[in-house]
Structure 1
Amino acid sequence: MTSLVPRPPYTDDELRKLYPPGLELRQVQVLMRHGERTPISARFQNAGLRPLWPYCSAARQMRAAVLAPRDPALGPATDTLEWKRRLESIGPNDEPVLAKGPQDDPDALCDHGSLTDQGRRSTYELGQRLRHLYVDRLRFLPPALTPADAEASLYLRATPVPRALESLQQAFAALYPPSARVPGPDGRFPAPVILSRTPDNETLYPNDGNCRRLAALARAFAQRAADRWNRSPEMDLLNRRLGPWMPQGQRIAVDSRPRLSGIMDTINASLAHGPETRLPEEFYDPALKAAMEKINVDEWFSGFRESREFRMLGIGPLMGDIVGRMVERAEQGGERGIRFGLSGCHDTTLAGMLASVGAFDMERWPPFTSHVAIELFREAQEQQQQQPPPLPPQAQSAKRGWWSALFASPAAARPIGRRPTTELTQAEKRKLDGYYVRMRYNDEPVTVPACRLPGNHFEGDPSLCTLAAFKAVVDKFTPTNWKEQCRMNRDKPALPEGEPEWAGH
């Protein structure tokens, strides 16, 4: 599977089972892989594949913000420049030439790794499905978004990679189209805030480019995969069928050039698009695809499943953020804080998250436009509804008095979301009571192994994990200082010694 084939909408019976009347949905965080894109690098020109693909119509109508001079007392004015992007290449004798597509059209060409028109459509359709579920069916989100709601309860974030940002924009535009955005006092809906980070602070994907220890761990697991698979029957099959297309008769391997993961990338990207960018039919044999996925998943994601340090450095900061937002919501009685989050990310994000909690199928790569929804529920109990809302921090400090505040421990001043469960007081642990977490991957519930234990899930449904049990699992691989820990253990073995440190417990 390269493009996601969405499952049908939930039936009424399925909806009642997934969202039982005894629970109230309090928060949703959705992390989505970008939509269909072009390959990261040009490959297999010897098989007739063009290096540049004609599937990016957005290149015909680009827009840029331009600051225009005006009265200094009024401040700078923002204007919009509309422009068309074309790609230039290097021709014979190194002279510049205008790049053209299969039909000699210079417009609508995609750069490497670009979100294509198909990717824009599929991510827009994901936004429509999210609206259908959370607005139309569950009535969890309001049908129209007000500026106050957007400011107080919406969290939008994307990685610095353009295809992730553009996919997020497509999905949000469908979740809340212009007709469902309430204008502010000036008659306009304020521009929604989309958060991003600089590369050295990015944790929305496994950032081995800015975490040296993670890079060492990734190399070790990649080498283990090469040792395990390069002479396997699966690799022999791939070489018999696709070997003739490799450059200079090179053997396909985990660490060949191109790597096996790069070969799969090109196959998946071409399979998701039109006939103008198709490879010979032998590239699409289901048996070959299954073998490639199995090997590449082992290379890229086994570290999350088997190594606590890999989990901590690769996905721990992100999972710590996700749990922190859920705990903050619980601390506020389930009423305040972020209500809905949407993040544009990558296949390594989703697989890393799921593998780190022991809930990933270790043989299938996440298709384009896959998503993980992490939902927070609260028990619908009358006594909970009748409890007064918690005091704001200022009022709590005043109620305790200056003497108790003087001797309060530094840990007590920190939000409990990032503190390990073992360090919480009984009163702090009680704030998590009555809350449950569910992860759904492409609209199918997944179950964390530790949540199957008695007392760790909602009665009759192990996929509905108690917030306390889910947090305890994530606590074990949430870093305390990610950047510092990225510089540690450089002289220690990269692979776990002895038994694997299995995820999900």
Structure 2
Amino acid sequence: MTTLQPRPPYTDQELTKLYPPNLELQLVQILMRHGERTPVNARFENTGLPAYWPYCSTVRKLVSPILNPSAGQLSTLEWTRRLETFGQDDQPVFATSDSNPDNICDMGTLTDVGRTTTYALGTRLRSLYINRLSFLPPGLTPSNIPQLYLRSTPIPRALESLQHTFSALYPPHTRSPDLLPPTIVTRAHADETLYPNDAICRRFAELSRQFAQRAAKKWNSTPEMEYLDSLYGKHMPEGSKVAVDSRPRLSGIMDTVNSTLAHGPETRLPREFYDERGREIAEKIEVEEWFAGYKESREYRMLGIGGLMGDLVQRMVGSAEGRDGGIKLGLSGCHDTTLAGVLMGLGAYEGDRWPPFSSHIAVEMFRDAREGEEGKEAGWWGSLFGGKGSRMRGREIGRRPMGELSEGEKKRLEGYYVRLRYNDEVVTVPGCREKGNHLEGDESFCTLAAFKEIVDKFTPKNWKQQCRVNKGHPPTPTGEPEWAGY
């Protein structure tokens, strides 16, 4: 849950095994968690932990666009931000720090550490996909920038993390002088599916509460929770014990613990907060509270990450059909709940560890190179006469369930495979292990058809409408788990 320690770069032998010559990489879609940030709420100030942290040097030089109405021109205003807060008797005072009074972060803000680690992620992506695999062009020009799809949630730390990763993937000297600014896609909060949107999706919020209450009932009176209370309890508000649903909640305690671990000595809790056994227990409980629903409930998967997964599959199918506009890389700035939700919703979440800051999932689609010439010919000829590459076939098949596709439509997906890497380690979807659902000899390469069929089962047809139904119902109709990954 704290700072990611990236694995060493792949050796040549590992790279050959991961990217075999008979498979041609065609599309990569990356979901990245933002970098290190400050806690979203001030906690444990009674231990001496300051509410506001001195790790945001960017606030000393902010730039905003300014429109001159009379001239109809845009200019920029450079400005410095100072954070004001309450002082004695509610008098306004500037938030400050003994070490650096000018670099004060707001709550939940991407810090200098977070900017550094997300920039490092972009450097690693450039090394892999450009320098070693030659999958992406080494520089950006007006002709090849449409190959990129950049998107972020509306949360500033996610957008800023995406910007840092992109800036390392394509540093300024690799962009041609006539290149227009890159487009970053965002959505209104009411339409956002790049994270589990419990603020808008009322049914998902209800399901989340049910699983949180289940976790509280299971763990609050256990020896494990007693151990956590022995560590943190003396710092809790008077009359409050550590619990899943305490105030602060156990998840909030861990948020502060891991945020402090990622930063400097000016922001440290007492040493008992960093007890290794305590951190492991808390993380295990919180992974269950927040993410078990994806593993056990089809409705939870559908409302939490179904829309996002439907988008990813639709883009892959569009790439296979030759109707996606030539996108080769999708890069999305998102959150820990996105990454864990996707992995758990596919049955590919291993262990009890929370996704560290700057984690990422790479969803890679490959084409069988042995079918390459046939596919190219079909794409060119079909674009004229309604074949594989046609944009005139009518309703595309990306969002339609496999059971509704004709045999001809299913055939368009043949020869394509999907593989997931989480923080540069391969993960496998359980249903892809079944006979006929993977590349012969390697279960991690799922056929596109099998992967789509798994995702189809929890892709919503109308997300906003489905967020308003089933109120008061249990998370699974029969009470039995609806296991993910099949």
TM-score by length of 1: 0.93
How far apart in 1 are the matches of 2:107 and 2:261?
A: 16
The Cα offsets for residues 141-160 of structure 1, whole Å up to 9 and x where unpaired, read as 0000112211x221000001
- 1:164 maps to 158
How far apart in 2 are the matches of 1:81 and 1:375?
A: 41
Alignment of 1:50-65 (within 5 A): 50-65=50-65
Alpha carbons 1:243, 1:249 under 8 Å: kept:
no
The Cα offsets for residues 239-270 of structure 1, whole Å up to 9 and x where unpaired, read as 01111110114100000000000000000000
For residues 363 and 97 of structure 1, do their structure 2 counterparts lie closer, same or farther at Cα, with a shift above 3 Å needed?
same
Letter of the structure 2 residue corresponding to residue 147 of structure 1: P
Q: How far 1:2 sits from its partner (Å)?
A: 1.1
Q: Residue 250 in 1 paired to residue 240 in 2? A: yes
Q: Residue 122 in 1 paired to residue 103 in 2? A: no
* SS of equivalent residue, structure 1 residue 439: strand
Match of 1:141 among 136, 143, 164: 136
Q: How far 1:414 sits from its partner (Å)?
A: 1.8
Q: How far 1:36 sits from its partner (Å)?
A: 0.3
Alpha carbons 1:87, 1:106 under 8 Å: kept:
no
* SS of equivalent residue, structure 2 residue 20: coil
* SS of equivalent residue, structure 2 residue 426: strand
Q: How far 1:493 sits from its partner (Å)?
A: 2.1
Match of 2:334 among 345, 367, 383: 345
How far apart in 1 are the matches of 2:268 and 2:310?
A: 42
Q: How far 1:99 sits from its partner (Å)?
A: 1.2
Q: Which runs of 5+ in 2 are unaligned?
A: none
Alpha carbons 2:417, 2:438 under 8 Å: kept:
yes
Match of 2:75 among 71, 79, 82: 79
Match of 2:225 among 214, 235, 238: 235
Match of 2:186 among 175, 182, 196: 196
- 2:417 maps to 436
How far apart in 2 are the matches of 1:157 and 1:141?
A: 18
- 2:460 maps to 479
Match of 1:322 among 312, 328, 341: 312
How far apart in 1 are the matches of 2:353 and 2:436?
A: 31
- 2:249 maps to 259
- 1:89 maps to 85
Q: Residue 500 in 1 paired to residue 481 in 2? A: yes
- 2:98 maps to 102
Alpha carbons 1:297, 1:362 under 8 Å: kept:
no
- 1:222 maps to 212
Alignment of 1:385-464 (within 5 A): 385=375, 387-390=377-380, 396=386, 413-464=394-445
Letter of the structure 1 residue corresponding to residue 463 of structure 2: W
Letter of the structure 2 residue corresponding to residue 111 of structure 1: D
Alpha carbons 1:205, 1:315 under 8 Å: kept:
yes
Letter of the structure 2 residue corresponding to residue 13 of structure 1: Q
How far apart in 2 are the matches of 1:232 and 1:209?
A: 31
Alpha carbons 2:297, 2:475 under 8 Å: kept:
no
Q: How far 1:337 sits from its partner (Å)?
A: 2.8
Q: How far 1:101 sits from its partner (Å)?
A: 1.2
Q: How far 1:48 sits from its partner (Å)?
A: 1.2
Alpha carbons 1:86, 1:106 under 8 Å: kept:
no
Alpha carbons 1:165, 1:344 under 8 Å: kept:
yes
Letter of the structure 2 residue corresponding to residue 361 of structure 1: E
Q: CA RMSD in A?
A: 1.8
* SS of equivalent residue, structure 1 residue 80: strand
Alpha carbons 1:26, 1:377 under 8 Å: kept:
yes
Alpha carbons 1:241, 1:282 under 8 Å: kept:
yes
Alpha carbons 2:476, 2:482 under 8 Å: kept:
no
How far apart in 1 are the matches of 2:219 and 2:78?
A: 50
Q: How far 1:437 sits from its partner (Å)?
A: 0.3
* SS of equivalent residue, structure 2 residue 63: strand
* SS of equivalent residue, structure 1 residue 221: helix
- 1:6 maps to 6
- 2:447 maps to 466
Deviates more, 1:164-173 or 1:232-241: 232-241
Alignment of 1:273-288 (within 5 A): 273-288=263-278
Letter of the structure 1 residue corresponding to residue 172 of structure 2: P
Alpha carbons 2:297, 2:483 under 8 Å: kept:
yes
Alpha carbons 1:89, 1:99 under 8 Å: kept:
yes
For residues 470 and 69 of structure 1, do their structure 2 counterparts lie closer, same or farther at Cα, with a shift above 3 Å needed?
same
The Cα offsets for residues 57-110 of structure 1, whole Å up to 9 and x where unpaired, read as 000000100002444xxxx2110000000000111111111111133x431100
Q: How far 1:21 sits from its partner (Å)?
A: 0.6
* SS of equivalent residue, structure 2 residue 185: coil
Alpha carbons 1:356, 1:503 under 8 Å: kept:
yes
Letter of the structure 2 residue corresponding to residue 60 of structure 1: R
- 1:307 maps to 297
* SS of equivalent residue, structure 1 residue 275: coil
- 1:372 maps to 361
Letter of the structure 2 residue corresponding to residue 470 of structure 1: F
Deviates more, 1:293-302 or 1:88-97: 88-97
Alpha carbons 1:293, 1:365 under 8 Å: kept:
yes
How far apart in 2 are the matches of 1:495 and 1:268?
A: 33
- 1:271 maps to 261
For residues 227 and 496 of structure 1, do their structure 2 counterparts lie closer, same or farther at Cα, with a shift above 3 Å needed?
farther
* SS of equivalent residue, structure 1 residue 313: helix
How far apart in 2 are the matches of 1:475 and 1:132?
A: 34
Q: Residue 294 in 1 paired to residue 284 in 2? A: yes
Give me the identity figure in percent: 60
Q: How far 1:393 sits from its partner (Å)?
A: 6.8
Letter of the structure 1 residue corresponding to residue 277 of structure 2: A
- 2:39 maps to 39
Alpha carbons 1:432, 1:468 under 8 Å: kept:
yes
Q: Which runs of 5+ in 1 are unaligned?
A: 406-411
Letter of the structure 2 residue corresponding to residue 456 of structure 1: N
The Cα offsets for residues 355-381 of structure 1, whole Å up to 9 and x where unpaired, read as 000001251100000000000000001
How far apart in 1 are the matches of 2:439 and 2:48?
A: 55
Alpha carbons 1:253, 1:260 under 8 Å: kept:
yes
- Count residues in correspondence: 483
Q: Residue 331 in 1 paired to residue 327 in 2? A: no
